[in-house]
Structure 1
Amino acid sequence: MGNGAAIKRGAREATGDILVFMDADGQHDPHLIERLLSRLEAGYDMVVGARSREGQASIHRGLANSLYNRLASWMTGHRVLDLTSGFRAVRAGKFKEFLYLLPNGFSYPTTVTMAFFRSAYGVAYEPVPVYQRVGTVSHVRPLKDGVRFLLIIFKIATLYSPLKLFAPTAFLFFVMGLAYYGYTYSTVHRFTNMSALLFSAAVIIFLIGLVSEQITSLVYSKSRG
């Protein structure tokens, strides 16, 4: 089924209070688990092993991950140092709250990280070295899985922070409508159907975002009530 499916199956079968995830290709040092657990004992709900730029598999992978980190930071309002790291320790009860959200593919770290931030669960990053992959070849397809990572980010943003997407989009349509109206008024001295369409789209998109934001708030208040 995929990496995410294996993670979900393992999480369901696990009986401990803390779950530790790491890649099985030799990139992560098991001796560093103690460092993650010590940060977890400090009161955090999840501790992620953050890779440095030198620890990225390639320049292209490093640039892509940097983009994901910046985009996720903007979406969540928190600084995300390593969105896609598979080396992490997490409290089992809180992790299992989001199992139904996790995809079966490679992007489970993306989903769970953003879900934890939106739920106001404590997330910490611990710098860790990453070693050369041994005995296997990466099954991540940069283009296809890169697009998939972005889609997952927008999916989670829509689910947890809808206005982060809808408000800027609505503003863009409004500016386009205003600019087009200014152009047509100066040339033909009238308000055109295209301007009306752009203004209407801006209002509709903003209202959809507003309603989605309210629904999200109700879902969270109900789940914690």
Structure 2
Amino acid sequence: MNQLSIILPAKNEAPALAVLLPQLRAAQPQAEIIVVDDGSTDDTRNICESHGVQCLSSPYSMGNGAAIKRGTRAASGDILVFMDGDGQHDPADVARLLDQLNRGYDMVVGARDWGSQAGVGRGIANTLYNWLATKMTGHPVLDLTSGFRAVRADKFREFLHLLPNGFSYPTTSTMAFFRSAYAVAYVPIKAAQRVGKSHIRPLKDGIRFLLIIFKIATLYSPLKLFVPASAVFFLAGFANYTYTLYAYHRLTNMSTLLWSAAVVVFLIGLVSEQITGLMYRPYK
């Protein structure tokens, strides 16, 4: 039987952990449970000690993704389960993810329904991400940004060097698995209201969410992003040339500039495609 490690990144989530940890221990009594304390200033460490749970503490906050990486390096299990430490995820759903993983998948993600989204704005953004990721990969992506997932440890560790220290580790890991032809499945879940205040800041993180859209494309196949962009520049140049040819009977600098931009964007896409291929070579 494979050893199971459950990793919970947490920053000032002591009230939630006080409720979550005993429930998690009851649901998975044989699992190794690791709480990665991301620079908390509350009783997170004491709560973990009182429940006999391993706690890895950082002297300052390094980010959600950094906590995931640290927990992954410390885990001894062949199977890793990542859960939020804020009480949103039901420990009973761990068994459902593991059951699907045992059917031959390499990653199983808990897919939230619309009612589980943290507000209308987040729901719309996640719907956009899911649609774009589905178009890029050619496979249904039901929840690109869910932090509740079960993975095979050896496969996940291949991509630790790609994971950012911030909140977008789910996006990066999902696209990396698809790129490497590792099987990904989704299990519907309902996420509860989080305990305490969210660490996500709408204004600052809005820019981050926009960057995720470009990360989706560049992590999987940059040419799928750069070729359409190049085509837009080329067609714009052609339209401008057609107009100036009939209006002024000459080729203008604007048409030349747009066509040059089309070539440059296409070449950047080619180079990015080669760099992306190098990123997925086994990391030693």
TM-score (norm 2): 0.74
Residue 223 of structure 1: how far off its partner (Å): 4.0
Q: Please identify which structure carries the higher strand content.
A: 2
Q: How many aligned positions are there?
A: 222
- Residue identity opposite 2:238 in structure 1: L
Alpha-carbon spacing, 1:167–1:111, altered in 2? closer, same or farther (3 Å): same
Residue 215 of structure 1: how far off its partner (Å): 4.6
Match of 1:64 in 2: 125
Q: Is 1:133–2:194 an aligned residue pair? A: yes
Alpha-carbon spacing, 1:56–1:72, altered in 2? closer, same or farther (3 Å): same
CA RMSD of aligned residues (A): 1.7
- Residue identity opposite 1:175 in structure 2: L
Question: Could you list the per-position Cα deviations for residues 16-52 of structure 1 after superposition, in whole angstroms to 9, with x for gaps in the alignment?
Answer: 1010011111111101100000000000000000000
Counterparts of residues 6-45 of structure 1 (less than 5 Å): 6-45=67-106
Match of 2:248 in 1: 188
Q: Please identify which structure carries the higher helix content.
A: 1
Match of 2:64 in 1: 3
CA distance in 2, matches of 1:138, 1:218: 36
Q: Is 1:102–2:163 an aligned residue pair? A: yes
Counterparts of residues 82-161 of structure 1 (less than 5 Å): 82-134=143-195, 136-161=196-221
Question: Could you list the per-position Cα deviations for residues 135-175 of structure 1 after superposition, in whole angstroms to 9, with x for gaps in the alignment?
Answer: x1111122322321331342352243110111011000001
- Residue identity opposite 1:69 in structure 2: N
CA distance in 2, matches of 1:198, 1:180: 9
Q: Is 1:176–2:236 an aligned residue pair? A: yes
- Residue identity opposite 2:254 in structure 1: M
Kept in 1, the 8 Å contact 2:106–2:155? The answer is yes
Kept in 2, the 8 Å contact 1:68–1:150? The answer is no
Question: Could you list the per-position Cα deviations for residues 84-126 of structure 1 after superposition, in whole angstroms to 9, with x for gaps in the alignment?
Answer: 1111000011111111111111111111111111111100000
Deviating more after overlay: 210-219 vs 145-154: 210-219
Match of 2:112 in 1: 51
* Paired residue secondary structure (1:85): coil
* Paired residue secondary structure (1:20): strand
Where structure 1 has 5 or more consecutive residues not aligned to the other structure, the ranges are none
- Residue identity opposite 2:264 in structure 1: I
Kept in 1, the 8 Å contact 2:218–2:276? The answer is no
Structure ID, larger Rg? 2
- Residue identity opposite 2:257 in structure 1: L
CA distance in 2, matches of 1:131, 1:14: 26
CA distance in 2, matches of 1:19, 1:180: 55
Match of 2:266 in 1: 206
Deviating more after overlay: 178-187 vs 157-166: 157-166
* Paired residue secondary structure (1:30): coil
CA distance in 1, matches of 2:169, 2:278: 25
- Residue identity opposite 2:208 in structure 1: R
CA distance in 1, matches of 2:166, 2:130: 19
Kept in 2, the 8 Å contact 1:111–1:153? The answer is no
Match of 1:167 in 2: 227
Kept in 2, the 8 Å contact 1:25–1:133? The answer is yes
Match of 2:50 in 1: none
Percentage of pairs with the same residue: 72
